[in-house]
Structure 1
Amino acid sequence: MSENKQSVCDEFGETHHSTGTMASFSFQNFINEFLNVAFGMFVFYFYEVEIGLNVILTSIGFVIYALWNAVNDPLVGYLTDRPFKFTRKWGRRFPWIIIGSVGWILAYILIFTPPNVDPESGAWIIFIWLVVTTCTSDTLASVQSTNFLSLFPDKFRGQERAKASGLMAIIGFIGIALGSIGPPLFIEYGNLQSYITQAGILAVVGLVAVFASIKGVRDEPEMVERYLKKCEEIEYKESFFTTFKSALKQKNYRIMLISYFLMQTTTACLLSSIIYVVRYILEADPEVTMYLMVGFLLGALGSSPFWSMICKKVQNNYKMMIISSFLEVIFLIPLLIGSTFIVILIGGTLFGISFGGYAVIFRGLVFPDVIDETVVIRGKRQEGVYIGIRDFFGRLSFLSQAIIFAAIHILTGFDRGVEKQTQLAKWGISIHFALVPMICTLIVAFLFIAYYDLKPAKTKEIREKIMELKL
Structure 2
Amino acid sequence: MNNKFINSPVMFALGMFALMVPTQAFSSFYSYFYVEKLGLGVGLATLARTIYLIWDALNQPLFGYLSDRTRTRWGRRRPWIYASIPLFMATFVMVFAVPEGLTETSLFIWFLVALILFEGVSTILWVNYGALFPELFKGDRMRAKASAVQQGFQIVALLIGAALTPLLFGAMGFGRMALVYAFVFALFMCLCVLFIRENADAAKDEPLPLLEAFRETFKNKQFWIFNIANSFAQTVNGLLGSMIPFYAKYVLGLPESQVSLLLASVFVPVIPLVAVWFWVIRKFGSTMGWRISLAVYALSVLPLGFASSLGTGIAAGAIAGFGLAGFLVTPAVLSGQIIDRDFEATGRRREGMYTAVGGFITRSSGLLSALAFWIVGMMFGYVSGENPGPDPAGTFRVLISAVPFCLLIISVVISMFFRAGRGSEEKPL
SS at match of 1:214: helix
Question: How does 1:346-385 map onto structure 2 within 5 Å?
Answer: 346-362=315-331, 364-385=332-353
Question: How does 1:64-463 map onto structure 2 within 5 Å?
Answer: 64-84=51-71, 87=72, 89-118=73-102, 122-158=103-139, 159-188=141-170, 194-219=173-198, 223-224=199-200, 226-231=201-206, 236-239=207-210, 241-312=211-282, 314=283, 316-362=285-331, 364-417=332-385, 422=390, 424-449=391-416, 451-454=417-420, 457=423, 459=425
Contact 2:302-2:401 within 8 A present in 1 as well? yes
- 438-447 or 94-103, larger mean C-alpha shift: 94-103
Contact 1:77-1:386 within 8 A present in 2 as well? yes
Give the aligned residue type for 2:281. C
Following the alignment from structure 2 to structure 1, what is the Cα–Cα distance between the partners of residues 316 and 195? 35
Give the aligned residue type for 2:400. F
Q: What's 2:10 paired with? A: 23
Deviation at 1:209, TM superposition (A): 1.4
Deviation at 1:60, TM superposition (A): 1.1
Deviation at 1:124, TM superposition (A): 2.2
Contact 2:252-2:307 within 8 A present in 1 as well? no
Give CA-to-partner distance per residue, 1:369-415, whole Å, 9 cap, x none: 22212222222111101111111112211111112111211220125
Contact 2:287-2:426 within 8 A present in 1 as well? no
Following the alignment from structure 1 to structure 2, what is the Cα–Cα distance between the partners of residues 459 and 324? 16
SS at match of 1:196: helix
Question: How does 1:32-47 map onto structure 2 within 5 Å?
Answer: 32-47=19-34
Report the RMSD for the aligned CA atoms in angstroms: 2.3
Give the aligned residue type for 1:413. G
Contact 1:23-1:216 within 8 A present in 2 as well? no
Deviation at 1:334, TM superposition (A): 0.5
Contact 1:280-1:421 within 8 A present in 2 as well? no
Change (3 A) 1:299 1:417: closer
Following the alignment from structure 2 to structure 1, what is the Cα–Cα distance between the partners of residues 105 and 120? 22
Q: Which runs of 5+ in 2 are unaligned?
A: none
Aligned residues: 425
Following the alignment from structure 2 to structure 1, what is the Cα–Cα distance between the partners of residues 260 and 333? 30
Give CA-to-partner distance per residue, 1:3-53, whole Å, 9 cap, x none: 4xxxxxxxxxxxxx7698211100111123222211111111211121112
Give the aligned residue type for 1:238. P
Give the aligned residue type for 2:227. L
Give the aligned residue type for 1:243. A
Following the alignment from structure 1 to structure 2, what is the Cα–Cα distance between the partners of residues 420 and 383? 45
Following the alignment from structure 1 to structure 2, what is the Cα–Cα distance between the partners of residues 71 and 429? 33
Contact 2:262-2:314 within 8 A present in 1 as well? yes
Q: What's 1:12 paired with? A: none
Structure 1 residue ranges, 4+ long, deviating more than 4 angstroms after superposition: 17-20, 417-421
Change (3 A) 1:413 1:83: closer
Change (3 A) 1:20 1:370: closer
Identity of aligned residues (%): 23
Following the alignment from structure 1 to structure 2, what is the Cα–Cα distance between the partners of residues 388 and 227? 18
- 75-84 or 268-277, larger mean C-alpha shift: 75-84
Give the aligned residue type for 1:199. A
Give CA-to-partner distance per residue, 1:150-188, whole Å, 9 cap, x none: 110011001211111110000011111111122110234
Query: Normalization by structure 2: what TM-score?
Result: 0.92
Contact 2:166-2:259 within 8 A present in 1 as well? yes
Change (3 A) 1:200 1:330: same
Following the alignment from structure 1 to structure 2, what is the Cα–Cα distance between the partners of residues 28 and 268? 20
Deviation at 1:419, TM superposition (A): 9.1
Deviation at 1:311, TM superposition (A): 2.2
Q: Which runs of 5+ in 1 are unaligned?
A: 4-16, 462-471
Deviation at 1:204, TM superposition (A): 2.2
Tell me which structure has the larger Cα radius of gyration. 1
Following the alignment from structure 1 to structure 2, what is the Cα–Cα distance between the partners of residues 414 and 336? 18
Give the aligned residue type for 1:416. S
Following the alignment from structure 2 to structure 1, what is the Cα–Cα distance between the partners of residues 296 and 405? 10
Following the alignment from structure 1 to structure 2, what is the Cα–Cα distance between the partners of residues 292 and 413? 25
Contact 1:317-1:455 within 8 A present in 2 as well? no
Give the aligned residue type for 2:224. R
Give the aligned residue type for 2:316. G
Give CA-to-partner distance per residue, 1:241-272, whole Å, 9 cap, x none: 44233222212101112112112211111111
Following the alignment from structure 1 to structure 2, what is the Cα–Cα distance between the partners of residues 186 and 128? 26
Give CA-to-partner distance per residue, 1:124-171, whole Å, 9 cap, x none: 222111111111111111111101111100110012111111100000
Following the alignment from structure 1 to structure 2, what is the Cα–Cα distance between the partners of residues 187 and 286? 11
Following the alignment from structure 2 to structure 1, what is the Cα–Cα distance between the partners of residues 155 and 422? 28
Deviation at 1:284, TM superposition (A): 1.6
